Chains A and B, each alone.
Chain A
Amino acid sequence: MRNLSRREFLRLCGAAGAAAGLADVLKPEIAVAFAGPAAGKPPVIWLQGGSCSGCSVSLLNSVSPSIAEVLTGVISLKFHQTLMSAAGDQAMDVLYEAKKKYKGQYVLIVEGTVPAGAGGRYATLGEKREKPVPFIRLTQELAADAKAVLAVGSCASFGGIPAGQPNPTDSLPASKVISGVPIINIPGCPSHPDWVLGTVVHLLKYGLPDLDAHARPKMFFGSCVHDTCGRRKDFDKGKFATRLSEPGCLYKLGCKGPLAFADCPTRKFNGGTSWCVAANSPCLACVEPEFPDKSGPFFVRMPEYGPAGTAAPQPREVKLLGGDK
């Protein structure tokens, strides 16, 4: 087992490591970072607000370390609605006790938006004195005593689909309701398990990772999808697909890879199985704040919005990143 320097860790988490798989890199690192009973496992509290739970399900798909290793050997997952055995008041007691006992030490993960409309009643979790507790209040209380907050997924990071026009629940990203504590955004619809676990390990071992203007870890969100895409060569040669199932670059069919910054093309999803463009489907730029209002329509070439199909009048006003600046 090696005790990697931060520099080596970053290199291995990055594009070069992605090709080899984060697995082999992360495993010895985790063992070194958290081995021994004295060190204890870092407490993690995971809250779900205006979410679909897709980022939790995605985390379950982690290959290496496997989710079993993560749960039993890496972190101490104090609260996670989908996984924990406790229910009701018992579960809420666990939450409030962890907040007190691990003040300033726990990592708070927020999945989903924080709905602010209707006085917070669009999302509630647990009861206090027979009154439902608004998720927005709970998030703020838990964040106040956290070591850091990870906004996991595009909803928690930027608002995502629940905050898409017309934002029926006045949904906000975590960063808009939390202050005084470091926040890291790990977007993606869903977020990749490596992005989440790699960031957690970096945070606990080396402190805050370098972040970009959208508070995303540069080690995962530092390269443009269009630049590392396997079909970039097709784009350069002007070889464009005219139907999704054809070979060739998908740019003219609506791919938003040029807007998206993430390592999907090299890391791929589900243990390196595939990713959107490999399945002949356009990149939605789901890791960007522009998703979904401005990165859509998804099957229409950027930056202009032409007629959808044959007979659509009235182009919708859409301003795309990297459009005609």
Chain B
Amino acid sequence: MRRIVIDPVTRLEGHLKVMVEVDAGKVVKAEVAGTLFRGFEKVLVGRDPRDAVFLTQRICGVCPADHATAAALALDEACQVEVPANGRVLRNLMLGGNYLQSHITHFYHLSLPDYVEMPEVVPFTPHYTGDFRLSKEAGEKLAAHYFAALNIRRKCHELVAQFGGKMPHLASIIAGGTSQNAKAERIAAARLLLKDISGFINTVYEDDVRLLASVYKDYFQLGKGSGNLLTYGAFPLDAGGGKKLFARGVYQGGAVSALDPGQITEDVSHSWYTAKSGGRPADFSTQADADKAGAYSWVKAPRYQGGVFEVGPLARMWMNGIYQNGISAMDRIVARMLEAKFMAVAMERWLDELDPAGPCETAVEIPYEAEGVGLTEAARGALGHWVKIRGGRIERYEAVVPTTWNASPVDAAGKPGALEQALVGLEVPDADNPLPVIRVIHSFDPCLACAVHLAIPGQPMAEFKI
């Protein structure tokens, strides 16, 4: 038996530590831990509700448009405003643009060095050695695309900034719509950028994923995890948001069914929070406890009907019926690429829908007392914000983020999180170079800054109209 600790797991957002126990060349136990706590939601209490859009973006520099969207949706509901068409479409474009940035960054800059030998210079050296299978020629081509992709991911952010002011941490998503109008020159600039980005996705990104998938075929059999998928749905296509680009649902035991958000609970049995911080959301009273015996992570463990679910691009592509090949490390990489293609097409349509003469915001009045929920999909998966307003201020705020689903610790029933399950059974021939472990971790695209901010209890989710 050998214990391998990878701390930090690099090339992801935030602080992640993974421990695996290897026996006879196979992982028999895995622990995935978040090693940072900021208590973000506590900071929100007492502030002007409208500020939540700006403040919650700063939970994560990789998914700011995503948090802004969830916060704005929660505030729209609390303030009972209807967002004008331009506002809805501009929000979609900003979130969509960040999806493209996020997916391209994930494949080339976070994931690729697991499969391709990069030039032997810092920051690419040292690295794990062993199972690198590409020919010298193919490897050099993909390494060159690492640099080309830096340029493209930058353009994705420039596209978002056309409407958002800047990225990361955009300025124009607000309660009631957007502050930026659908200016003709901004639309034209975005169109040009999107053309470049789409060209890269369709001619380079897709081919590179196909190449990787053909050479590392065995990874279609590795890193399955819980086998359950969950989505909140996102990108409203009509005024009421009844029609969405991405469907909402759960996939379990071979069948897709409707999601009942009232069935979501959070478990803290192995997280550094007091016992009262978990169980039914109605009983929440979250309090950090850094000395808790048996705990090993700052990440909580969300569960749906007690089950362990995976969220992210694969879940979305599955729920939409676009890609249902399987659930594995390589399927996640393929689904992410397919989603980028799908999103680029949707964004072209949205650019056409914008009306330069139309309004983009509806005036918002902060109610004395109200509640709101914003359920959306971050690039990495299901994202929800819950806000409770009292006296015109934020009384409570809670965000349940994608990586808490994927990188959750063991729950009270002894069920490990999705990523932990995905690691168990993995063959690790060389314990000093645990490439398969790193590859499976990265396939989930963990985003730990998002996952480890929790501090304040949410409203009982069953009470929200969803």
Contact = CB atoms under 8 A, between A and B. Distances in A.
A52 B128 CA distance: 27
B150 interface: yes
A298 B50 contact: yes
Interface string A61-103: 1110011100110001111111111111111101000000000
A186 B164 CA distance: 23
A126 B122 contact: no
A297 B7 contact: no
Contact of A78 (B5, B122, B361, B438): B122
A81 to B, nearest CB: 5
Contacts, number: 291
A276 B169 CA distance: 10
B123 A281 contact: no
Shortest 3 CB-CB contacts between residues of A and residues of B: A54-B61, A312-B392, A309-B366
B414 interface: no
Contact of B6 (A51, A54, A87): A87
B252 interface: no
Contacts of A53: 13-14, 60-62, 449
A186 B364 CA distance: 35
A274 B161 contact: yes
B221 to A, nearest CB: 23
A55 interface: yes
Contacts of B181: 245, 280
B9 A244 contact: no
28 contacts: A51-B449, A52-B60, A56-B61, A58-B61, A68-B147, A76-B122, A80-B123, A85-B123, A87-B11, A90-B126, A90-B128, A123-B35, A160-B58, A167-B43, A244-B179, A245-B361, A271-B154, A273-B166, A274-B162, A279-B164, A280-B172, A281-B179, A298-B50, A298-B51, A310-B365, A311-B392, A312-B366, A312-B368
A57 interface: yes
Interface residues of A, number: 95
Nearest to A192: B166
Given A87-B8, A122-B288, A274-B166, 6 more contacts: A68-B147, A77-B123, A83-B11, A88-B7, A274-B162, A309-B366
Interface in B252-297: 288, 290
Interface string B147-181: 10011011001100111111111111010001111
B168 A54 contact: yes
A121 interface: yes
A166 B58 contact: no
Contacts of A124: 7, 15, 35-36
Contacts of A63: 154
B11 A85 contact: yes
Contacts of B150: 60, 66-68
A119 interface: yes
A113 B161 CA distance: 26
A198 interface: no
Nearest to B60: A52
B48 A298 contact: yes
A312 to B, nearest CB: 3
Nearest to B56: A161
B289 to A, nearest CB: 9
B361 A270 contact: no
Contact of A66 (B42, B58, B126, B151): B151
A314 B391 contact: yes
A71 B123 contact: yes
Contacts of B151: 66, 68
A125 interface: yes
A119 B180 CA distance: 45
Contacts of B13: 53, 82
Contacts of A132: 7, 17, 35
Interface in A23-75: 48-58, 60-63, 66-68, 71-72
A305 to B, nearest CB: 9
Nearest to A312: B392
A227 B121 CA distance: 45
Contact of A61 (B4, B14, B121, B154): B154
A316 interface: yes
B59 interface: yes
A21 interface: no
B180 A86 contact: no
Given A60-B154, A297-B48, A279 B290 contact: no
Nearest to A282: B171
Nearest to B362: A243
B444 interface: no
Contact of B126 (A57, A85, A165, A190): A85
B169 A190 contact: yes
Interface in A178-212: 189-190
Contact of B166 (A60, A243, A269): A269
A168 B455 contact: yes
Interface in B340-399: 359-361, 363-368, 391-393
A127 interface: yes
Given A53-B13, A88-B6, A313 B391 contact: yes
Nearest to A155: B58
A118 B392 contact: no
Interface in B85-138: 105, 109-110, 113, 118, 121-128
A82 B50 CA distance: 31
Contacts of B49: 308
A162 interface: yes
Contacts of A88: 4-9
B391 to A, nearest CB: 6
Contacts of B360: 245
Contacts of B37: 115, 122-123, 168-169
Contacts of A123: 15, 35-37
Interface in A110-151: 113, 115, 118-119, 121-127, 130, 132
A86 B126 contact: yes
B40 interface: yes
A10 B230 CA distance: 53
Contacts of B363: 243
Interface string B211-233: 00000000000000000000000
Contacts of A273: 158, 161-162, 166, 189
A276 B166 contact: yes
A281 B48 contact: no
A323 interface: no
